[in-house]
Structure 1
Amino acid sequence: MKRHFPVIRWLMVLSIGLVVALGLFSAPIKSNAAEKTYQIGTDVTFPPFEYANDNNKYVGIDIDLMNAIAKDQGFKVNFKPTSFNGAIQAVQSGQLNGMVAGMSVTPERKGTFDFSTAYYNSGVVMAVSQNNNDIKSLKDLKGKTIAVKTGTTGAQYAQSIQKKYGFKISTFDDSSNVYEDVLTGNSVACFDDEPVLRYGINQGTKLKIVTKPAAGTPIALGVKKGTNKDLVEKFNAGLAHLKKNGEYKKIMDKYLNAKKNTEDNHSFFGILKQNKTFLWQGFLQTLWLTIVSIIFATIFGVIFGLFGVLPIKFFRGLSSTVIYLFRGMPLLVLALFIYTGIPTLSGTRIPAFIAGVITLMLDEGAYIAAFVKGGIESVDKGQMEAARSLGLPFGKSMRKVILPQGVKLMVPSFINQFIITLKDTSILSIIGILELTQTGKIIIARNLEGFKVWAMVAIIYLVVITLLTWLSNWVKRRAKI
């Protein structure tokens, strides 16, 4: 057994190094109520409350109001763009101090959130395609499908009347997808907050509102229940000042009465020209996330792949368990568990980028471990027997004889895994990482040109993946695999 110790020691050193590196990256950042800067979650795909303007700067009722209150009360705000549900979970897990995202105050949310004074009262309306003259009221929805955005008051209102009016519900993460579902005819109508729908219509979305506002609910800043009391107090005091000095009315009028900018070019190349810098930044973030993740995933995968071929039952079992566990877990679930679940249990914060890297490391690393293990096992067993018969210890036989042959089979798989990792980064938009997919969502929230923007994003992915595929094929030819 002593002959195996050098390999085992080497693998254990790599394992410890990986753990230490990740520990340094994700060192806990404790929440401090006395901090001058608050981490605030927001949707940024929910105009006119929050969205990116023509210069890709975050604006909207919530953004401008929060910034004005921060200035009035002498604190700073660091906005964290994510999905609505992602912001809710991040606040509940302690990752963020609070959220402003057109968030309605409901009895259910009061169980887990403390709210500020309401700064707007919104009502839900129903909209249909401009060409639809058959749906004029809720009674006309029987047996048909309607679209809503996940977690919104519109979704809650639709669920509350679904049984009464007998319709089906399709849910989406973004308002633009909700509207597109109606325009394509998959759904006959949609429910959303009145100012949000009116903004979309003012921007050229071919919908029309057919009902009066219903289920009006107050909208407020939300914080995790029992925490950040000082933030709520500052928000309330600042809101009162803004209402008194007229700044509040200016902000509301600016966005609630916003009209489509006639200078905007909504052609494919017009949108590309306007957003090329923003898309480039999103692509660079995707590429950086992919490179960092694949490095850690490779280390992780090689360690557990080699564990799987050691002649020690414990390590082989550990390898099989890790591969089974992380290959079998959906990437989206894993990302949310790491970003919101672990902080809930541990009371520490994990930056979104680090949570993304850990997610991809575990998921992609499990696949790498599987093909590392398979690559080594594909080498003829007689090679190891011959090396051992010549007096070489297990570790030296692995390094000098088996690995050189196995690596030759693994290289194309590594390149393919890089391609897969590049594509999988798109899922991390759910935790607010501003990569290429999240960038596309933010652009669409402003101009509601989903087809054109997603076409641009798809072309960028296809070009990069095509280049990597050519590289993979070239490596295979050079290696004569």
Structure 2
Amino acid sequence: MKKFAKFLVAACVLVGANALSAEVIKVGTNANFPPFEYLDENNTITGFDIELVDVLSKKVGFDYEIVNMGFDGLIPALKSGKIDMVASGMSATEARKKAADFTDSYFVTENVFIKRASDDSIKTKDDIKAKSVGTQLGTVQEIAIRELKGIKPVTMEDPITVILALKNGKIDAAVFDTSVAYGYIKENPELVEFHKEPDGSEGFSFAFNKGKKTELVSKINDALRELKEDGTFDKLLDKYNLK
């Protein structure tokens, strides 16, 4: 009887553990933001953020499912419960903090302004007055260009669409975060940087619906610190040329 009781207790613990591990965290991302999230040659979502989520899932102990959607729809999807977490190069702005809980920042960037190398009319930020400036919808960079006086802000759903518009002369300049801007400049020698400035945010963080996953946020913060201390984080930065 005692053996049976011990077996019953052990079985209950096992069921409880399986119940906890059965929760799948739906991770929302916008896979048009290389090198943080993008579709590889096999049409698989990959990138720095995606690999970091994978490492964190193993370290913290959760299963996850990646959900691809438009960047501007990520916070609404978080609030409605369609996703549980955002991993998409998202900056923890004051406005977003009202709707979501953010982890500690894991990557800090700046706003980089780019133009066509052949456009001699733009040499400094002051030269974009009365010109059209594009960026991705729903980003910190959209906030930045809408605060500029005298320009024509243009927003598009995907960064690549902005780049194509710039190359084809449909807009005069574009603004992206450091890593994305330099990635496009490297791939498109006809584009050059002409200005760089702080983006006004605390940097990229993972987001969760406010008050819903506070324990998980704390565990991820602890895991991020450990990954930075043991060198795992630096290896990921090196892999995606983010240093």
Task: Give the structure-2-normalised TM-score.
Answer: 0.87
Residue 56 of structure 2 is aligned to residue 69 of structure 1: yes
SS at match of 2:112: strand
Compute the displacement of 1:110 (Å). Answer: 0.8
Instruction: Name the structure 1 match of 2:109.
Output: 122
Instruction: Name the structure 1 match of 2:161.
Output: 177
Contact 1:33/1:228 (<8 A) preserved: no
Instruction: Name the structure 1 match of 2:119.
Output: 132
Instruction: Name the structure 1 match of 2:180.
Output: 196
Contact 1:121/1:216 (<8 A) preserved: no
* Superposition map of 1:268-307 within 5 A: none
SS at match of 1:117: coil
Instruction: Name the structure 1 match of 2:90.
Output: 103
Residue identity matched to 1:220 = S
Which of the two has higher C-alpha Rg? 1
* Superposition map of 1:227-266 within 5 A: 227-256=212-241
Compute the displacement of 1:34 (Å). Answer: 7.3
Instruction: Name the structure 2 match of 1:59.
Output: 46
Residue 68 of structure 2 is aligned to residue 84 of structure 1: no
Residue identity matched to 1:227 = K
Higher helix share: 1
Residue identity matched to 2:164 = E
* Superposition map of 1:28-427 within 5 A: 35-160=22-147, 162-163=148-149, 166-204=150-188, 206-217=190-201, 218-256=203-241
Taking the aligned partners of 2:172 and 2:44, their CA distance within structure 1 comes to 34
Residue identity matched to 2:234 = K
Taking the aligned partners of 2:189 and 2:36, their CA distance within structure 1 comes to 17
Higher strand share: 2
Compute the displacement of 1:148 (Å). Answer: 1.2
Compute the displacement of 1:228 (Å). Answer: 1.3
Distance 1:36 1:242, change over 3 A: farther
Contact 1:242/1:248 (<8 A) preserved: yes
Residue identity matched to 1:180 = L
5+ unaligned residues in a row in structure 1: which ranges?
1-31, 259-481
Taking the aligned partners of 1:44 and 1:73, their CA distance within structure 2 comes to 24
Taking the aligned partners of 1:251 and 1:202, their CA distance within structure 2 comes to 20
Q: CA RMSD in A?
A: 1.8
Residue identity matched to 2:151 = F
Residue identity matched to 1:215 = D
Compute the displacement of 1:186 (Å). Answer: 1.4
Q: Which is bigger in relative contact order (C-alpha 8 A, separation at least 6)? A: 2
Taking the aligned partners of 1:226 and 1:123, their CA distance within structure 2 comes to 29
Taking the aligned partners of 1:181 and 1:221, their CA distance within structure 2 comes to 30
Contact 1:91/1:97 (<8 A) preserved: yes
Taking the aligned partners of 1:34 and 1:68, their CA distance within structure 2 comes to 16
SS at match of 1:146: strand
SS at match of 1:103: strand
Residue identity matched to 1:83 = G
Compute the displacement of 1:257 (Å). Answer: 5.0
Task: Give the structure-1-normalised TM-score.
Answer: 0.45
Number of corresponding residues: 224
Alpha-carbon deviations, 1:68-116, whole Å to 9, x = none? 1111112111110111112221101111111011001111111111100
Alpha-carbon deviations, 1:233-290, whole Å to 9, x = none? 22212211211111101111211359xxxxxxxxxxxxxxxxxxxxxxxxxxxxxxxx
Compute the displacement of 1:184 (Å). Answer: 1.1
Contact 2:134/2:173 (<8 A) preserved: yes
Residue identity matched to 1:67 = D
Contact 1:33/1:230 (<8 A) preserved: no
SS at match of 2:89: coil
SS at match of 1:250: helix
Taking the aligned partners of 1:142 and 1:157, their CA distance within structure 2 comes to 14
Taking the aligned partners of 2:198 and 2:213, their CA distance within structure 1 comes to 32
Distance 1:257 1:97, change over 3 A: closer
SS at match of 1:249: helix
Distance 1:235 1:206, change over 3 A: farther
Taking the aligned partners of 1:46 and 1:256, their CA distance within structure 2 comes to 14
